[in-house]
Amino acid sequence: MKIAKISNHQLFSLTACNSIGVALIAISALMVRIAKQDAWISAIITPIFGMLVMLMYWFLGSKYPDETFVDIIRNILGKWLGLLVGINYVFFYTIIGCHLPWYIDQFITIAALPETPTYIIGLLFMITIVIAELYGVETIARASEIFIILISILFFLAMLLVIPNARIDNLQPIFEHGLTPILKSSIFLTCFTTCHLVTLMGIYPYNIADIFAAKKSILKGYLFGGFIIFVTIIMSILVLGQNITSKLQYPTYVLAKEINIGKIFTRLEFLIALVWIVAIFIIGILFFHAAVISLAQLLRLKDPRKIVIPLALIMLVLSEVILPDIPYYANWINLVWIPYSITIALIIPLLLLLVFSLKNRIFNKKISKCIRT
C-alpha cells in the first residue's frame, strides 16, 4: 500500500484545529473560575509550556522518521513492555475519542435541537468520521486545510462584531489574587489545549513528507490555536465579566449571543457553534485515526481499514455510556482527566525520550570501546 504523505501546511492546519477544539467553547468558564479576571494572562503563558511539549513530540518523531508511534514505542521499550504501553495508548485514544460524539450530542441538544434523541446526533457524527477515515489521511489533511480558513474567518468575524460590547474595566484590577491562581489555571489550560495533541502521533512521523520542516509547522499551528483560545478568554472577560463567565456552561456561545449591531446583526451565535463543531470534527477524526492505526500496528495488520467500522460501532455505543450526565462529566474532567492526560501525553513520552537517550549512550560507549580495543 502506498503511504499517504501530507505537506507541512496541512500539518499546520491539523495542529491548529486540534488545539483549538474542545477548549474553544467551554474552557473560559473553568479558567475564569480559578484565576478570576486574570485568566487572560495565563492564556499568554500557557503556550510556553505547550511549546516544550510540542518540541518533545517533534524530537521523538524525528529520530524515527518512517515509523508509527506504536513502532517507536516498541523500538524503544522492547516487545513486551512496548505492547503494554501500546495497549495503554489504544485505550486512551478509544475512550477519549468517545467523548467527542458526546460533546456534540450535549451541545446540539442543549442549544439547538432539544427534542432529538442524542444517539441520532452521535450516529451522524460517527458516520462522517468513518467516511473520512475510509478516505484516508490525505483527504483528512486537505479537509483540515479548508476548515482552518473557515474557522479563522468565522471566528474573527464573530469576535470583531462583539467588540462594541467590550468594557475595559472588566479586566481591572489586574493581579488581584497574585500569581498562584494564574499558574494553577494555566495547568488546566495546558491539559485542555495541549495534551490531546498526542493524537497527532497517529500521523506525525509516519505520514509527513519533510520531517525537519515539520517542527516549524507544528509550532506555528500550536501557537495559532493558542492565540484563538487567548482571544476567546479575553473577550469573554471583557464582554461578560468574570462573574457571569464563571457560571456558564458554554461562555463563548453566550458571548456570540451578545452580538447586536443596530438591531440588524443579531443571533449570530451559530458562527461560533459552527467553528466549534468543525474543530471537534477534526479532533474526532484524529482520535479515531490514532485509535485505528495504533490498534492495527499492535496486531500487525496489513490493512487497517478493515477494523474501522467495527471500532466505530464500539465507540458509538460507548459514547452513550461513558459520561452518564453533566455533573459526572464536570467531576471527571476536573479530577481525573488532568492527571490522566498528563501521564499519557507528558510523562510517558518523557520516559520514552529518557530510555532512548540512555540506550544511545550505552550503545555508543560499547562501540567506542570496541574501536579502542
Q: Which residues bind another protein (CB under 8 A)?
A: 34, 91, 95, 184, 187-188, 295-296, 299-303, 306-307, 309-311, 313-314, 316-318, 320-324, 328, 332, 334-336, 338-340
Computed on alpha carbons and rounded to an integer, the radius of gyration of the chain in Å comes to 21
Start-to-end CA distance of the chain, whole Å, equals 46
Residue pointed to by grid coordinates 510540542: 54
Q: From CA 219, how far away is CA 273, in angstroms rounded? A: 26
C-alpha 137: how far from chain center: 17
Written as nine digits, the cell of 249 is 456552561
Question: CB neighbours of 297 closer than 8 A, spacing ≥ 6?
Answer: 68, 69, 70, 71, 86
Q: Shortest approach of another protein to residue 328 CB, angstroms? A: 8
Cα within 13 Å of Cα(180), Cβ side: 1
Q: Shortest approach of another protein to residue 306 CB, angstroms? A: 4
Q: Shortest approach of another protein to residue 246 CB, angstroms? A: 12
Cα within 13 Å of Cα(13), Cβ side: 21
Q: From CA 10, how far away is CA 140, in angstroms rounded? A: 9
Task: Give whichever of 71 and 269 is closer to another protein, judged by the CB atom.
Answer: 71
Query: Does residue 217 contact residue 11 with C-beta atoms inside 8 Å?
Result: yes
Task: Give whichever of 11 and 34 is closer to another protein, judged by the CB atom.
Answer: 34
Q: From CA 298, how far away is CA 321, in angstroms rounded? A: 26
Q: From CA 315, how far away is CA 70, in angstroms rounded? A: 21
Q: Shortest approach of another protein to residue 337 CB, angstroms? A: 9
Task: Give whichever of 267 and 300 is closer to another protein, judged by the CB atom.
Answer: 300
* Three-class SS state of 268: coil
Q: Shortest approach of another protein to residue 30 CB, angstroms? A: 9
Task: Give whichever of 56 and 95 is closer to another protein, judged by the CB atom.
Answer: 95
Q: Which of 70, 36, 322 is nearest to 203 (CA)?
A: 70
Question: Using CA of residue 308, residue 310, residue 314, residue 319, what is the dihedral sign?
Answer: positive
Task: Give whichever of 47 and 304 is closer to another protein, judged by the CB atom.
Answer: 304
Q: Shortest approach of another protein to residue 81 CB, angstroms? A: 18
Q: Shortest approach of another protein to residue 367 CB, angstroms? A: 37
* Three-class SS state of 258: coil
Task: Give whichever of 88 and 165 is closer to another protein, judged by the CB atom.
Answer: 88
Q: Shortest approach of another protein to residue 174 CB, angstroms? A: 21
Task: Give whichever of 52 and 309 is closer to another protein, judged by the CB atom.
Answer: 309
Q: Shortest approach of another protein to residue 316 CB, angstroms? A: 8
Bridge partners (DSSP) of residue 6 are 208
Task: Give whichever of 170 and 341 is closer to another protein, judged by the CB atom.
Answer: 341
Q: Shortest approach of another protein to residue 318 CB, angstroms? A: 7
Q: Which amino acid is at 355?
A: V
Task: Give whichever of 64 and 332 is closer to another protein, judged by the CB atom.
Answer: 332
Task: Give whichever of 177 and 216 is closer to another protein, judged by the CB atom.
Answer: 177
Question: CB neighbours of 121 closer than 8 A, spacing ≥ 6?
Answer: 101, 104, 105, 108, 109, 113
